[in-house]
Each structure stands twice: as C-alpha cells, then as structure tokens.
C-alpha cells in the first residue's frame, strides 16, 4: 500500500511502523518530502504527485496545540473560542483564566504582547494546517485517517470545512506499555474498532524525552491496526 503521511516528520511513527508499505512522509522536519503544510499552494504539488503515482491512503497528524484543551478555560482554550473556533483577540486573550496567561496579566508583565504574538502564530498555524489537511483530503478523494486528541476542536473544524467522517477513539496504553492512556481520535470514512483501556502504567505528565517528538509518537501496533482496515 502506498501511504501519504502528513506531519510524520518528528518521530516518524507511521514510516517506522510500516516498513512493508511504501510510506511517503511529508513535513518541515525529517521527512521524505520537506514541505510547509501550512502553505495551501503546496496542495497542488501533492495532488500532482498523486496523479503520477497514486496514493492508497492519507494519514495525517496536524499540530494539536491550538485545538486541544491543555490550556482549557472560558469556553475553549487560550488560543480560540470553542463555539466559533475563532482565535482570541488580544483583549479577550488577556482575560483568559489559563494560569500562564493569568499570571502574566496579574503582574502586568512587559512581555505580554510578545507572548500573545506566539499564541496567535500557533493558532494561525493550527488553522492553516487543519485547512490544508481538509482540502487535500477532498482533492485526493482517497481513504484518510486524521489524528488528534480525543477532545480536540480540530474535529469540529474539519466538519466545518466539509469533511464527513467517523471519529474513532483509541487509548495508546491499550497498544503499548510504553505509552500513557492518551485517548486519541482518528477521523476517517471508515469505522474502526480500536482498543480502549481504563488505566496505564504511568501518567501523561511522566512521559520522558523530548516533549514534541515523544508526545507526537503513536504506538506501532495502533498504526498497524488502523492500516489493517484499508
């Protein structure tokens, strides 16, 4: 099977888990194709590649930071409003109860504008990478699997961009003792009976190693289980 793996440029979980498949990883880091997946012009490049040598499956793990509830509070998170999915304005952001933001505001920190700019950049990147993923899925017209935390607002975004899917949920700990529980959603046109678990051997906060690379990893057996449905 020929698989297009978007955002598989950190730990390379998909490529490592599927040595018997032709996996083409894409991203801004260590990938087969180094490409900015927030630049919508690059959709055409991947569509043209598909026309020359068709892909059978698209797998994607868009950045979740601005969509997750790790910074929860006040109808959404510190990046965006849950109902509209709109990014927070500067004034609205300063009123957000998330502890890091609140402490900055309480001491009237001089770095407040710079910190807000970082939140805004991450939020814009979240919007663009989610849109890129949705538009590429529609352009390719092939089976797809899009990964994000179970409660991520990105699934609402994908629906609003016109994608129809089933949100399958898996627990990472059900596939490997090297992972915390981590309930994760996988949007796909295919319903998959993925494994669940009630507990893990360690908590999410105790995960060791590089924060971005380790926490973006996916258990190999889970990836293989997902691909077995196609």
Look at residue 225 and tell me whether its pLDDT is greater than 60: yes
Look at residue 105 and tell me whether its pLDDT is greater than 80: yes
Q: DSSP string spanning 194-221?
A: ----S--SS-GGG--S-HHHHHT---HH
Q: What pLDDT, on a 0 to 100 scale, did the predictor assign at position 100?
A: 95
The larger pLDDT score, comparing residue 193 to residue 207, is at: 193
The larger pLDDT score, comparing residue 174 to residue 199, is at: 174
User: What span, in angstroms and rounded, lies between the C-alpha atoms of 28 and 37?
Assistant: 8
Q: What is the mean pLDDT of residues 102-131?
A: 98
Q: CA torsion sign, 27 to 67 to 169 to 230?
A: negative
- The two beta strands, 183-188 and 144-149, are antiparallel
pLDDT band with cut points at 50, 70 and 90 for residue 224: very high
Q: What pLDDT, on a 0 to 100 scale, did the predictor assign at position 215?
A: 66
- As a whole number, the mean pLDDT across the chain is 94
List the structure tokens of 50: 């598909």
Q: What pLDDT, on a 0 to 100 scale, did the predictor assign at position 92?
A: 96
Q: What pLDDT, on a 0 to 100 scale, did the predictor assign at position 199?
A: 83
Q: What is the mean pLDDT of residues 158-185?
A: 95
Q: What pLDDT, on a 0 to 100 scale, did the predictor assign at position 11?
A: 85
CA dist 52 → 15, 43, 89 (Å): 21, 15, 44
Look at residue 203 and tell me whether its pLDDT is greater than 90: no
Look at residue 211 and tell me whether its pLDDT is greater than 70: no
Listed by start position, the domains of the chain span 2-64+128-227
Element holding 27 (H helix, E strand): strand 22-27
Q: What is the mean pLDDT of residues 9-37?
A: 95
Q: Which CATH class is domain 2-64+128-227?
A: alpha beta
Look at residue 123 and tell me whether its pLDDT is greater than 60: yes
Q: What pLDDT, on a 0 to 100 scale, did the predictor assign at position 212?
A: 55
> How many percent of the chain have pLDDT more than 90?
87
User: What span, in angstroms and rounded, lies between the C-alpha atoms of 87 and 123?
Assistant: 7
Look at residue 204 and tell me whether its pLDDT is greater than 80: no
> How many percent of the chain have pLDDT more than 70?
95
Look at residue 120 and tell me whether its pLDDT is greater than 60: yes
State pLDDT tens for residues 51-94. Answer: 999 999 999 999 999 999 999 987 999 999 999 999 999 999 99
Full-model pTM: 0.94
């Amino acid at each position: 099977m020929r698989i297009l793996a978007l955002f598989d440029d950190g730990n390379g979980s998909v490529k490592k888990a599927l040595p018997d498949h032709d996996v083409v990883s894409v991203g801004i880091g260590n990938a087969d194709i180094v490409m900015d997946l927030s630049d919508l012009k690059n959709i055409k490049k991947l569509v043209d590649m598909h026309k020359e040598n068709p892909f059978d499956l698209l797998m994607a793990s868009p950045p979740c930071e601005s969509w997750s509830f790790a910074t929860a509070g006040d109808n959404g998170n510190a990046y965006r409003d849950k109902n509209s999915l709109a990014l927070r304005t500067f004034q609205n952001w300063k009123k957000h109860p998330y502890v890091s933001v609140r402490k900055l505001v309480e001491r009237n920190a001089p770095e407040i504008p710079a910190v807000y700019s970082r939140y805004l950049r991450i939020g814009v990147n979240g919007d663009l990478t989610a849109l890129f993923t949705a538009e590429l899925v529609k352009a390719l017209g092939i089976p797809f699997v899009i990964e994000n935390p179970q409660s991520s607002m990105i699934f609402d975004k994908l629906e609003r961009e016109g994608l129809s899917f089933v949100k399958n949920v898996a627990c990472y700990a059900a596939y490997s003792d090297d992972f915390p529980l981590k309930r994760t959603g996988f949007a796909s046109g295919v319903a998959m009976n993925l494994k669940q678990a009630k507990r893990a051997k360690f908590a999410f906060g105790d995960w060791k190693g590089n924060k971005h690379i380790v926490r973006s990893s996916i258990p190999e057996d889970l990836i293989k289980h997902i691909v077995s449905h196609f």
